[in-house]
Chains A and B, each alone.
Chain A
Amino acid sequence: MLVVGLVVAAMLIVLASAQAIVAQGAFQLSDLSDRAQQLEAESDRLRLRVARLSTPDRIAAAGRRAGLAAPTQVEILGDATP
């Protein structure tokens, strides 16, 4: 009787532990999912920043602030062979 009781108690402890591990895993999964979402959002934010920094308007303004000016005349040299 005592042995049966001990076995049942042990099984209950194992079952409870397994449930706890599963629950802990679910919480970790949820945390990791949140973290992945945060990183994805950060990646998108940086993507937008790169796109904004690459706009011709911003680059032209930055060039003007740096004292650069567009050339008034450009000559493109072609292939020297006839």
Chain B
Amino acid sequence: MRRPPGARVIGLFAVMALSLSALAVRLVLLQVRDGATYEALAMEQRVRRIALPAERGTIFDRSMHELALSLPAKAVFADPALVQDPAGTAARLAEILEVRTGALRGSLTAESRFEYLARGVDLAVANRVARLDLPGIGFIDEPKRTYPGGALAAQVLGFVGVDGAGLAGLELQWDRVLAGRAGRMLVEQDPDGLSIPQGRLELEEPRRGRDLVLTVDKDLQYFTERALAGAVEENGALGGTVIVLDPSTGDVLAMATNPAFDANAFTDAPAFVTRNRGVTDVYEPGSVNKVITAAAALEEGVMGIRERLWVPPRYLVGDKVFTEAHPRPAMSMTLTDIIAKSSNIGTIMTAQRLGRERLDDYLRDFGFGVETGIRFPGESDGILMPEEEWWTTSMGTIPIGQGIAVTPLQMASVYATVANDGVRVAPRLVRGTVEGGDVREQDPLVRERVVSTRTARLVTRMLAEAVASGTGQEAQLPGYWVAGKTGTARKPLQDALGYSDEYVASFIGFAPARDPAVVVAAIIDEPDTVYGGVAAAPLFREVAGFALAHLRVPTAQPPPRLPSLVRG
């Protein structure tokens, strides 16, 4: 038997030793030098970082009925690099997701690693897609905002975008409160997506957004919207706004804007329709503004309740001659007659006794030229020029509500101040947030006296006379003592000085006048008829009548009329 030569054995041993050394070196390189890198790569493959979106808070009406809520939903996405059959995949998904096949095919062949195919997809639909087990198709949790009432209070609520951020209305104003804070989860999973037992798990729980409770009453809101839509149609108008306030708390019980839109499909609505125009848009108020002149004159003592003015049919202020809406001869009028009959000239003469500085002060004290404090995105301050910049004719126009611009809410707030015995309370749309099951109340930003209780009650009786025997008779409600004022104002030209031939008709009032429960501002944009009493007062009557019954306000007989009003 031949033995291998010693040199061969040594050679073989050397080769083995070298091989083992190479393996050892490689092992050291892998385990020691590059160990951390490979460990990180392995973790990268196994560990999934899952974003846990926070559920957005619910928005309730004042009786805790849901007006906006968030539901679990999925975003469906594609990684085009992993999609094997773009045309076939697009065809199968198009039917389920209700997206055009062409659009899907474009996304599935895009030069990227991430393309959204559909967002806000219901879980049932997402499950149907998941069962297809299509390569390159994935899902992300993405709660979907839903408005069960559709168009109900849509301009007030606003809406959120696909990424869940508030874009308009209260959804925008209260976004930080409603949104909450997203969480995340780290979990080790196998290639099939199953969690690896005893694998690494880190969990940071999402913090749900807080719920919001509004002052709005959904039944009253619905009725108001329906009544407004009917009035707009009946009067052949462009649109309108109705605001219902509780004068003692400033609570907005209803705030309707027409035309309306469905908040669930806000992308289909023109931008102007989505604005809450009672807060964001201004108009020249016209005769409803006369109430400020009357209140200021009484408060300052420049005009007594029984005092009579000799009011001519025409009156010159600066270089402009002012007349009445309905021609009449010169006559003697009390301040109550001036308000009840909506006399332009009587109001201007009263304002002149007051003087421009004091008139300006009262306009501002009643809330003109500044935000109301309702805290709503895009709220307008209105337009009230500084007194030193007034025109020579301003003492003719401003007392009768022309040459200034206010929001419907500002004007409603003036009447709420009178109804609340002269104390202005900032209107509020949000009653509070829900914390620990209780509502944490949000106090109104402003609560301040503007005129005395006596003045407010005298003005109330003047406004009641306007309804009982003056221009606002269409606003009378059986069983309730109603106080209010009509207003008709020409709309200014859009791109030039002067006025168009279009009008805004309004009626603003409150009831019951002795202890007001509601203030209703009814404003109709460009009705067929130019008079507020004809166009807007019936709308006021309809909404106020429903509101009083809904709030269970007992009917009662009105008190006797002011003695000074009895013709002698």
Contacts and interface: CB of A to CB of B under 8 A. Distances in A.
A52 B69 CA distance: 11
A48 B71 contact: yes
B66 interface: yes
A55 B148 contact: yes
Interface in A31-47: 40-41, 44-45, 47
A70 B71 CA distance: 34
B148 A56 contact: no
A56 B555 contact: no
Interface stretch (B277-285, B456-464, B546-554): B546-554
A26 B71 contact: no
A41 B552 contact: no
Interface stretch (B165-173, B194-202, B410-418): B194-202
B554 A60 contact: no
B152 A56 contact: yes
B72 A41 contact: yes
Nearest to A40: B72
Contact of B554 (A26, A47, A51, A77): A77
Interface string A54-82: 11110010000000000001111111000
A8 interface: no
B538 to A, nearest CB: 14
A80 B225 CA distance: 35
B373 interface: no
Interface in B142-175: 146, 148-150, 152
A30 interface: yes
A54 B222 CA distance: 12
B452 to A, nearest CB: 28
B66 A78 contact: no
A13 interface: no
Interface in A4-44: 19, 22-23, 25-27, 30, 40-41, 44
Contacts of A55: 148-150, 152, 218, 222
Contacts of B123: 41
A interface, by DSSP: helix, strand, loop or mixed? helix
Contact of B148 (A23, A54, A79): A54
Contacts of A73: 478
B219 interface: yes
Contacts of A75: 479, 555
Interface string B63-82: 00110010110000000000
Contacts of B553: 76
A51 B61 CA distance: 12
A19 B123 CA distance: 34
Contact of A78 (B149, B219, B478, B556): B556
Contacts of A48: 69, 71, 146, 148
Contact of B219 (A25, A40, A56): A56
A74 B197 contact: no
A51 B479 CA distance: 35
Given A48-B71, A48-B146, A79 B66 contact: no
B152 A30 contact: no
Interface in B175-228: 194-198, 218-219, 221-223
A78 B69 contact: no
A78 B555 contact: yes
Contacts of B548: 76
Contacts of B479: 75
Given A55-B149, A76-B554, A60 B222 contact: yes
A44 to B, nearest CB: 5
Nearest to B553: A76
A23 B240 CA distance: 65
A52 B555 CA distance: 34
Given A45-B71, A48-B71, A73-B478, A78 B150 contact: no
12 contacts: A26-B196, A40-B72, A44-B71, A48-B71, A48-B148, A51-B69, A51-B148, A55-B148, A55-B218, A56-B149, A76-B553, A76-B554
Question: Which 5 A/B pairs are nearest by Cβ-Cβ distance?
Answer: A78-B554, A56-B222, A51-B148, A26-B197, A74-B549
Given A47-B69, A73-B478, 13 more contacts: A26-B198, A40-B72, A41-B72, A44-B72, A47-B71, A48-B148, A56-B218, A57-B149, A74-B545, A75-B555, A76-B554, A77-B555, A78-B555
Interface of B: 65-66, 69, 71-72, 123, 146, 148-150, 152, 194-198, 218-219, 221-223, 478-479, 545, 548-549, 552-556
Interface of A: 19, 22-23, 25-27, 30, 40-41, 44-45, 47-48, 51-52, 54-57, 60, 73-79
